[in-house]
């Protein structure tokens, strides 16, 4: 899922997305963020049947202003995301320089001049078919020095010791690595005084984080598991984040700048520990809203309200999928242990499918013949493929086993989506009951834990009463995502949780299913989030293809700041703000615009 959600999206029918910006022409814009998909000519949708915000509990607003129309994410360059690290610093790509330790670690002259020239020529020509044999003294220490020099000064190449003359002598063979995976985990090739991880800043455009890591690994011939990052970032955007790589040279990463398009690698340094999922404190957004119809006064009022009061921390529409079969409906079936229904929902026809899947899903709806559907299934539909393969084998508990065939992180997202639906619905009901004032029975987290957001915590929330109410504000209030470890508000909101879950056939007091994998402990989420570092700029423009905000790579390349054109045809609003983890930028934009952020509404806004 995109950066705001920090989870992988479940989208049964992924639409392709080119590396180029869409052309300037009259067209409808798909602003759904789940995979950043653009509308394709082979995608079939019925807008009347698509989910809208009210279908997933998104109803209320904080502010009283009227809002105005604008297009969200018309181009991927309109959505720029910079990770905020655990120290609170905005991560930016500012340099391609190699750390000093990389330059001075070994002396290249341990390789004789003739062999150095051969190696340089090999690298310059990118000649993967030749090899260089270096004759060395029969000394392990000497060979080690040469191996290290090759690693540091010719990082694209791989060296190995070979026997010659029936093992009487040992030489060093240098080649471009031909194997699929080049081992970066060789202690003999890594200086003892250098930390084991290279931390670098990854800039990418219009690519998913995991896909980007796969491309890096393929180009470097290393395993993807050598790379670690704090979270995934939006696909249809320009994003910057930190990554660590285990025993991978900075120079090898720097060389990728010459061969990988729409990416940047820099700000290298060596560190002793890897990044872990969740090790960020949020994201800084630079967003461009185009075709703005509001007056300058309306814009000022809306942005000022966001800055002063924040926004309701709803889970955005991308949490619930892009088709008429929502992910939370699958999650509800799973929690009710109706695995047959859950599987049917995954496979049944839906608006939003591409043409290749319409006939395929029709087979399932008419025949329930898993093998026949599997034979017709396009190669890239991995979730359906996993499910159908198990169903085609029949056997006991086949529907449960079919769900188990889906990768764990993906199948749990169905359940998480249902939790998100309940949370959205409950925060709307809580606001309808009590507004934005703190009331007895509300839940808050201790100040030290507020920054942890939606992550699981082994703490009990504080219940608001007459004595402690003065110590907190509405910004401290949390509501639970339902689960077997949760404490619920002691006011009327707690009862509403029970009623809403009961309507869906789920007992709030017994949320542990007999299958541990689908039992969720729950967690707490802030009701209201107030962004920081809020800035705005109004820009007039004439060309829809013109970028209106600079990315890190633009700044590094010396691109000039876009200028507002006096008398321009269209008005754009450039917004900047920072959000903590687990907060959706689209929900902040919703509070400003007062328009539906769902695909069904956004697709009605034409470029011209």
Cβ distance 29 to 605 under 8 Å?
yes
Share of residues in the chain with pLDDT > 90 (%): 61
Say how far residue 597 (Cα) sits from the centre of its chain: 19
**Alpha-carbon distances of 113 from 110, 124, 137, 171, 592, rounded to whole Å:** 9, 16, 16, 17, 65
- Tell me which residues are annotated as active site: 234
- The CATH class of the 106-189 domain is alpha beta
Per-residue pLDDT reduced to its tens digit, 253-309: 999 999 999 999 999 999 999 999 999 999 999 999 999 999 999 999 999 999 999
Q: What's the pLDDT tens digit per position in 302-336? A: 999 999 999 999 999 988 986 778 899 999 999 99
Bridge partners for 173 per DSSP: 133, 160
Write the pLDDT tens digit of every residue in 350-395.
876 777 888 889 999 999 999 999 998 887 788 899 999 999 988 7
User: 133-137, 196-200, 523-527 — which is least confidently predicted?
Assistant: 133-137
C-alpha of 8 from chain center: 7
More confident residue, 599 or 299: 299
> What's the rounded Cα separation, in Å, for the pair 236 and 538?
23
| Cβ partners under 8 Å of residue 232, min gap 6 | 1, 2, 3, 6, 7, 8, 208, 209, 210
Lowest-confidence region among 23-27, 241-245, 501-505, 511-515? 23-27
- Mean pLDDT (whole number) for 548-571: 95
* Cβ 478 vs Cβ 443: under 8 Å: yes
pLDDT on residue 15 = 29
Structural domain boundaries of the chain? 86-100+192-271, 106-189
> Environment class of residue 437 by beta-carbon count within 10 Å: exposed (0-12), middle (13-18) or buried (19+)?
exposed
Order of strands across the sheet with 158-164? 132-135, 169-175, 158-164
CB 570 within 8 A of CB 540: yes
Phi, psi angle pair for 446, to nearest 5°: -60, 150
Cα–Cα separations (whole angstroms), residue 145 to 380, 402, 469:
47, 54, 67
Sequence-distant (6+) residues with CB within 8 A of 69 are 291, 292, 293, 294, 593, 595, 605
- The mean pLDDT value for 112-118 works out to 90
Calculate the average pLDDT of the chain.
85
Q: What is the pLDDT of residues 467-525, one digit of tens each?
A: 999 999 999 999 999 999 999 999 999 999 999 999 999 999 888 877 887 888 999 99
The DSSP bridge partners found for residue 227 are 245
CA–CA separation, 234 and 209 (whole Å): 8
Which residues, at least 6 apart from 213, have a Cβ–Cβ distance to it below 8 Å?
A: 224, 227, 229, 243
pTM confidence score: 0.78
Orientation angle between helical segments 327-335 and 339-347, nearest 10 degrees? 160
pLDDT, residue 335, reads 92
| Alpha-carbon 490 to chain mean position | 35
- Helix (H, G, I), strand (E, B), or coil: what is residue 499? helix
Q: Determine phi and psi for 282, rounding to 5 degrees.
A: 145, -160
Q: For strands 79-84 and 238-246, give the pairing.
A: parallel
SS3 content of the chain, % helix, strand, coil (to 5): 35, 20, 45
Tens of pLDDT along 417-445?
Answer: 999 999 999 999 999 999 999 999 999 99
532: enclosing H helix or E strand: strand 532-541
Q: Return the beta strands (E) in 318-453 as ranges.
A: 443-444
Helices 296-309, 585-593: axis angle to 10 degrees equals 130
CATH no. for 86-100+192-271: 3.30.70.3160
Report the distance separating Cα 37 and Cα 33, nearest Å.
7
């Amino acid at each position: 899922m995109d950066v705001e959600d920090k989870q992988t999206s479940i989208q049964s029918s992924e639409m392709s997305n080119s590396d180029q910006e869409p052309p300037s022409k009259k067209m409808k814009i798909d602003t759904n963020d789940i995979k950043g998909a653009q509308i394709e000519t082979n995608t079939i949708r019925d807008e009347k049947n698509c989910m809208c915000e009210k279908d997933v509990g998104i109803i209320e607003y904080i502010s009283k202003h009227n809002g105005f129309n604008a297009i969200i994410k018309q181009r991927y360059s309109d959505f720029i995301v910079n990770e905020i690290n655990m120290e609170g610093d905005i991560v930016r790509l500012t340099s391609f320089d190699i750390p000093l330790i990389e330059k001075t670690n070994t002396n290249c002259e341990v390789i004789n001049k003739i062999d150095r020239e051969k190696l340089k020529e090999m690298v310059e020509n990118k000649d993967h078919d030749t090899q260089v044999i270096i004759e060395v003294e029969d000394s392990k220490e000497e060979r080690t020095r040469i191996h290290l020099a090759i690693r540091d000064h010719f990082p694209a190449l791989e060296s190995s010791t070979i026997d010659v003359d029936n093992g009487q002598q040992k030489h060093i063979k240098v080649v471009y690595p031909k194997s699929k995976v080049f081992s970066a985990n060789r202690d003999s090739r890594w200086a003892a005084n250098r930390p084991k991880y290279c931390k670098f800043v990854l800039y990418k455009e219009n690519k998913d984080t995991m896909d980007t890591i796969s491309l890096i690994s393929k180009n470097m011939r290393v395993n993807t598991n050598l790379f670690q990052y704090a979270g995934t970032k939006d696909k249809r955007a320009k994003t910057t984040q930190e990554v660590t790589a285990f025993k991978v040279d900075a120079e090898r990463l720097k060389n990728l700048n010459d061969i990988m398009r729409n990416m940047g690698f820099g700000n290298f340094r060596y560190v002793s520990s890897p990044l872990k999922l969740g090790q960020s404190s949020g994201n800084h957004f630079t967003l461009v809203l185009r075709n703005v119809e509001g007056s300058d006064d309306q814009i000022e009022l809306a942005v000022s309200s966001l800055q002063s009061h924040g926004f309701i921390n709803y889970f955005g529409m991308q949490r619930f999928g892009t088709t008429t079969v929502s992910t939370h409906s699958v999650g509800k079936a799973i929690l009710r242990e109706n695995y047959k229904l859950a599987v049917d929902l995954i496979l049944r026809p839906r608006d939003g499918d591409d043409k290749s899947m319409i006939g395929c899903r029709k087979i399932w709806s008419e025949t329930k013949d898993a093998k026949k559907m599997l034979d017709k299934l396009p190669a890239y539909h991995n979730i359906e493929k996993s499910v159908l393969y198990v169903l085609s084998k029949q056997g006991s508990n086949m529907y449960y086993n079919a769900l188990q065939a889906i990768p764990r992180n993906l199948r749990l997202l169905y359940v998480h989506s249902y939790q998100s639906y309940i949370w959205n619905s409950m925060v709307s009901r809580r606001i309808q009951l009590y507004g934005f004032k703190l009331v007895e029975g509300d839940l808050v987290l201790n100040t030290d834990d507020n920054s942890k957001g939606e992550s699981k915590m082994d703490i009990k929330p504080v219940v608001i009463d007459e004595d402690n109410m003065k110590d907190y504000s509405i910004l401290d209030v949390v509501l639970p995502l339902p689960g077997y470890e949760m404490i619920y508000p002691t006011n009327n909101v707690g009862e509403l949780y029970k009623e809403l879950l009961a309507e869906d056939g789920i007992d709030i007091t017994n949320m542990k299913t007999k299958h541990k994998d689908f039992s969720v402990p729950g967690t707490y989420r802030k009701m209201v989030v107030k962004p920081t570092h809020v800035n705005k700029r109004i820009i007039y423009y004439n060309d829809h293809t013109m970028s209106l905000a600079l990315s890190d790579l633009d700044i590094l390349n010396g691109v000039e700041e876009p200028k507002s054109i006096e008398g321009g045809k269209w008005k754009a609003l450039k917004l900047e703000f920072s959000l903590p983890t687990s907060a959706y930028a689209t929900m902040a934009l919703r509070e400003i615009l007062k328009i539906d952020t769902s695909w069904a509404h956004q697709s009605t806004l034409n470029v011209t």
